[in-house]
Amino acid sequence: MSFACHLDKAAQNDEPTTIVVFGASGDLAKKKTFPALFHLYQNGLLPKRTKIFGYARTQMDHAEFHKRVVSHFKSDADKEKVSEFLAICKYVSGKYDVDDDFERLRAEIDAAEADENVNTLPDRVHVYYMALPPSVFVSVATHIKKNVYDESCVNRIIIEKPFGHDSESSKQLSQDIGALFEEKEVFRIDHYLGKEMVKNIMTLRFANVFYEAVWNRHYVSNIQITFKEPFGTEGRGGYFDEFGIIRDVMQNHLLQVLSIVAMNQPKTLDAEDIRDRKTEVLRRILPIQLEDTLLGQYVGTHDGSKPGYKDDDTVPKDSNTPTFAQCVMHVDNDRWRGVPWVIKAGKALDEAKMLIRIQFKDMPSALFPNLARNELVIQVSPKEAVYLKTIVKKPGLSTRLAMSELDLTYSKRYHDIKIPDAYATLILDVLNGDHSNFVRSDELEEAWRIFTPLLHKIEDESVVPFPYEYGSRGPKGVDEFTSERANYKRT
Ligand code: NDP
Ligand code: BG6
């Protein structure tokens, strides 16, 4: 293999490191950030002299903080490792807009570094993780820069989505953050970029001669990128109603995946070369039209066992926020011109699934008329898999044909390998200073350019989404939309 794997890189990286998790009392910190940090710790992937600080307004002692830190660890976590890990985790309570509080944090960091005798080393790394609502991003970033940022070491800031609400607000956020931190210090997390099968797309495409040969408009009929969740916004209705499914999932996760499937080969595996190629292809995507979009909002089940979106008390009764959307997109370049891309995302659907389905063109065979189409499916979750729908002779005495699969299901082929959580992978990338799997500001600008006109039109014209029942496949017409608008033929 010519490129380094994470383990190789982590083994080389042993700079004294301080990680501060802002919003340490919150949901993301508890469910994702601390479990990911522990995963790295127990696998020996955190630099040896790492200290972790949690910072939030909530008053709590270390015992309470530690209880929260471990609350989402796997039940079989090694107890000894857990207590070693907790010994490097400390909590500082403070407000998000008070200089004195940030100065106290800085003093704690300085003291911890002095204890380890690393306070004068220039290769120290400080990571500031913003597990916070976007309303306080800028205030916290400003106070970090003013009171905590250390010119004498490497500083990195991790920002969680949403990165703005539309083109204008995102530009403002980029400007505000850009005035405080250099782009090389900023890591915008889109956790889909840390998922195993998303990281695998480049390898599949650029390390296998046969995939790259057919990865274009001459062979591909249409591409679908689908995200389905079997649960509604339970408990998050208030947050969700401000954003809707397009901002929550499509503009970021699905578009990021699309850009990797669609991009041309980067010059090297360097982060900037990869991000150049992704941005380049995003620039060739035309803004999405309302006419090319199907919107839905889930309603309760007939038997009353599952609630509708608007049954949530935190959602306004007249909300038109879509919980389902399906769009046809076009990439206007020589590789993809004429190939429709259907991206679909929905909550409260019939199953949990995230996949990329590449359907090839009809086989113009004189020997076998009316063949079903080949498809390459990359399943991101729940079970990682790549399978190629392939026509074979029906085994046995029959001379008929059958659709079968060349099947690479990871749980069967790699049953002894545990696939790490996306957050563990991405935090490790930050520790290694690798931006490949993070969103650059120009990519972000393009992503909002593609979606903002549609979002504004939906809101300005109060477009009413079509209802669909909780647990169904989506609003009426969802399948016809794909067959009629994208020429998809069910195989
Ligand atoms: P929370 O609502 O749990 O907020 C995190 C912490 O921020 C809270 O514990 C609270 O800490 C503080 N906080 C909450 N509301 C406010 C407010 N209005 N003003 C100031 N401080 C506030 O958020 P999450 O942890 O769910 O999410 C954090 C970020 O991560 C968000 O940007 C979110 O969009 C993103 N994200 C979250 C995911 C998840 O699974 N939860 C998944 C992907 C992204 P205290 O009061 O103690 O200061
Ligand atoms: C988050 C969205 O970014 O991604 C959630 O805000 C969604 O609404 C989640 O449920 C899906 O992530 P995953 O990793 O569970 O597919």
Q: Is 159 strand, coil or helix?
A: strand
**Distance between CA atoms of residues 282 and 73, nearest Å:** 38
State yes or no: pLDDT of 5 exceeds 50.
no
ipTM for the assembly? 0.92
For position 7, what pLDDT does the model report? 47
Run of H or E residues at 102? helix 99-115
Contact 94, 21 (CB under 8 A): no
Verify whether ligand 2 is closer than 6 Å to residue 190 (CB atom).
no
Contact 198, 380 (CB under 8 A): yes
**Distance between CA atoms of residues 39 and 77, nearest Å:** 9
Task: Supply the residue whose CA is at minimum distance from atom 40 of ligand 1.
Answer: 28
- Catalytic, out of 253, 302, 415, 435: 253
Verify whether ligand 1 is closer than 6 Å to residue 232 (CB atom).
no
Tokens of residue 56, six digits = 């939030």
Helices (H), 116-247: 137-143, 167-180, 196-207, 209-214, 237-245
Contact 369, 250 (CB under 8 A): no
For position 165, what pLDDT does the model report? 94
Phi, psi at residue 59, to the nearest 5°? Answer: -80, 125
Average pLDDT value for residue range 82-95: 98
**Distance between CA atoms of residues 423 and 431, nearest Å:** 12
Over residues 227-280, the pLDDT tens digits come to: 999 999 987 888 899 999 999 999 999 999 999 999 999 999 999 999 999 999
Verify whether ligand 2 is closer than 6 Å to residue 248 (CB atom).
yes
253 is catalytic: yes
Task: Supply the residue whose CA is at minimum distance from atom 48 of ligand 1.
Answer: 57
Over residues 123-157, the pLDDT tens digits come to: 899 999 999 999 999 999 999 999 999 999 999 99
**Distance between CA atoms of residues 13 and 2, nearest Å:** 19
Phi, psi at residue 116, to the nearest 5°? Answer: -90, 0
State yes or no: pLDDT of 6 exceeds 60.
no
Mean predicted lDDT score pLDDT of the chain: 95
Q: What is the side-by-side order of every strand in the sheet holding 466-469?
A: 401-409, 385-393, 375-381, 353-360, 220-228, 340-346, 324-330, 293-299, 466-469
Query: What is the band of 119 on the pLDDT scale with cuts at 50, 70, 90?
Result: confident
Of 21, 53, 132, 137, best ligand 1 pocket probe by most atoms within 8 Å of the beta carbon: 132
- 0.80 surpassed by pTM: yes
For position 236, what pLDDT does the model report? 80
- The half-sphere exposure of 62 on its side-chain side, counting CA atoms within 13 A, is 8
Using the atom order of ligand 1, give the atom closest to the CA of residue 32.
Answer: 40
Verify whether ligand 1 is closer than 6 Å to residue 135 (CB atom).
yes
Whole-Å CA distances, 409 to 197, 208, 358, 384: 11, 18, 17, 6
Phi, psi at residue 3, to the nearest 5°? Answer: -110, 150
Average pLDDT value for residue range 281-300: 97
Using the atom order of ligand 1, give the atom closest to the CA of residue 28.
Answer: 25
Q: How far is the CA of 412 from the centre of ligand 1 (A)?
A: 37
Query: Which ligand has its closest atom nearest to the C-alpha of 138?
Result: 1
Angle at which helices 62-70 and 34-42 cross, to 10°: 80
Verify whether ligand 1 is closer than 6 Å to residue 56 (CB atom).
yes
Of 163, 249, 256, 351, best ligand 2 pocket probe by most atoms within 8 Å of the beta carbon: 249
Whole-Å CA distances, 108 to 90, 145, 177, 433, 442: 9, 16, 25, 24, 36
State yes or no: pLDDT of 396 exceeds 60.
yes
- DSSP-derived pairing of the beta strands 50-56 and 401-409: unpaired
Over residues 49-84, the pLDDT tens digits come to: 999 999 999 999 999 999 999 999 998 899 999 999
State yes or no: pLDDT of 10 exceeds 70.
no
Query: Which ligand has its closest atom nearest to the C-alpha of 160?
Result: 1
For position 9, what pLDDT does the model report? 53
Contact 159, 172 (CB under 8 A): no
Query: What is the band of 4 on the pLDDT scale with cuts at 50, 70, 90?
Result: very low
**Distance between CA atoms of residues 129 and 149, nearest Å:** 13
Average pLDDT value for residue range 323-348: 98
DSSP label of 252: I
